[in-house]
Structure 1
Amino acid sequence: MIHYLKSLFNGNVAQEESFSAIGVDMHSHILPGLDDGSENLEQSLELVQAMKALGYRKLIMTPHIMNDFYKNTPQGIREKLQLLQSAVTQAGIEMELGCAAEYYLDEGLLQKLDAGEELLTFGNNYLLFETSFLNEPLNLREAIFKMRSNGYNPVLAHPERYSYFYGKFNELASLRELGVLFQPNLNSLTGYYTPNAKTQAELLIDEGLVDFVGSDTHGHKHTNTLWKVLNSKYYAKILALPLRNQQL
């Protein structure tokens, strides 16, 4: 299946043939049975192999942590990482694996920050977080302040997908003044999510406001679409930015 998809798009890939120049994916839901991503170990193995075929050498997998839906813990996430690592090694797949989490900005996250609980981060204490796609949280800036005060470097997942910032690009950009780093999803460049998300992602790239890029892989629908990203002129622009992925 993987070789078929690769051959299907090879005829159109003009600029790059893989994501090896990025090397490290720092946002995915490939760990098995933790959220709305991979359902089981078999699917996780298939997705790791698909990411390898795309040119990645390391995956930092980030299950959702949401107070009302996904009550994942650092211990539980690490256990699934060990399970997948063992299966990947046994299958002979050469891929470095790590884990963090994608935290939803809710009362649970604020309580964890207030209590000084352990939060799963990656790299230089980078904390991946997301918000509602439709409504700006009233406590967004308060939460950012608490993250920074606790020594975290906040990374806003897929900033191009928050509709409350559409038509308010300067407000989105102003979050960087508070110390927030931005991580667009690569598949946004294909219009996979919405045309507005594509436009916003392109604007972030044009303005140089991109620190990381992620696949946000939940399943094969995402890895299959990633092949199309390689043919995007904006992917070439991304590679010209000082991305932090390779440093992870």
Structure 2
Amino acid sequence: MISFFKKKQIIDDLNWLGVDIHNHLLPEIDDGAADLQQSLNFINSLKNLGVENFICTPHIYPDLYPNTPVTISSALNKVQAAETLAIASHKISAAAEYFVDDNFKANDQLLCIADNYLLIEIPYASEVKNLEQIIFDLQIKGFKVILAHPERYLNYYKNHDRLSRLKERNVFFQLNLLSVSGYYGKDIRLFAEYMLSKKWYDFAGTDLHHEKHLNELTKIVTNGFLFKSIGNYAFQNKSLL
């Protein structure tokens, strides 16, 4: 019998995202890839999901991960050398994810994603009293500030106006892809959905650290859930290519 009902096409890749602007793929440098082999495995797995361009963003967190441009470029060089030997076709570069607290000092030597976009994170549960002043100081220096995964900061759950003020101050927001699946919890998923409905997000990234992240991401990509949820959202990742 001929069916007149066509199944909806399932989009089971990440080609629509274009570039992963936030991840922890560089080896032995923070709480991401433990060694070079794991780094290459993560990169190849993401490539199989449709990611062709990677901007690696290891933590710069003075008390925990005191990375510098030197340590980051050294880790990147190891990956690029191994990728060259494997005749890889994807593009890999590096910037950083800066931890911003009340002791953070802006300078002119910060590692940017592209075109002076600077990725920052803040404490998950404590207050940065002078955050807006820090962001203003960075912007005066010409940096375009991207706040990583704003849906995960507990202090903003019941005070959406604070995030609204950051948007008014031209702060860009980056969504973690796993947030929409509930991986980090129901509250974070609902908060991400709220910000998506407000069109507050500008970029998205995997924020991939380990195998659990990769497994969950693979599941929600290959079953079509991720594209169905956010695949048609106007993320600006491709503008950074």
2:84 alignment counterpart: 89
Q: Which runs of 5+ in 2 are unaligned?
A: 1-7
The reply on whether 1:140 has 2:135 as its aligned counterpart is no
Q: How far did 1:18 drift?
A: 0.2
Alpha-carbon distance, 1:159 to partner: 0.4
Residues 199-247 of structure 1 show CA distances to partners (whole Å, capped at 9, x for unaligned) of: 1111111111110000001122112111333357664453333311111
Query: RMSD across aligned C-alpha pairs, in angstroms?
Result: 1.8
Structure 1 stretch displaced more, 164-173 or 232-241 = 232-241
State the alpha-carbon separation in 2 of the partners of residues 170 and 228 from structure 1: 34
Counterpart-to-counterpart distance in 2, 1:215 and 1:205:
16
TM-score (norm 1): 0.88
1:75-224 paired onto structure 2 within 5 Å:
75-106=70-101, 109-110=104-105, 113=106, 116-224=107-215
TM-score normalised by structure 2 residue count: 0.91
The match for 2:68 among 54, 73, 78 is 73
Amino acid at match of 1:181: F
**Is 2:239 the counterpart of 1:247?**
yes
Distance 1:204 1:246 in 2: 21
Q: What is the CA–CA distance in structure 2 between the aligned matches of 1:172 and 1:213, rounded to whole Å?
A: 17
Structure 2 distance, partners of 1:232, 1:140, is 38
Whichever of the two has the greater Rg, that structure is: 2
Summarize the alignment of residues 17-28 of structure 1 with structure 2, pairs less than 5 Å apart: 17-28=12-23
Cα distance between partner residues in 1 of 2:80 and 2:103: 29
Q: Which has the higher helix share?
A: 1
Q: Which runs of 4+ in 1 moved over 6 A?
A: none
Percent identity, aligned pairs only, is: 38
Paired residue total? 232
On the 8 A contact 2:203/2:236 being kept in 1, the answer is yes
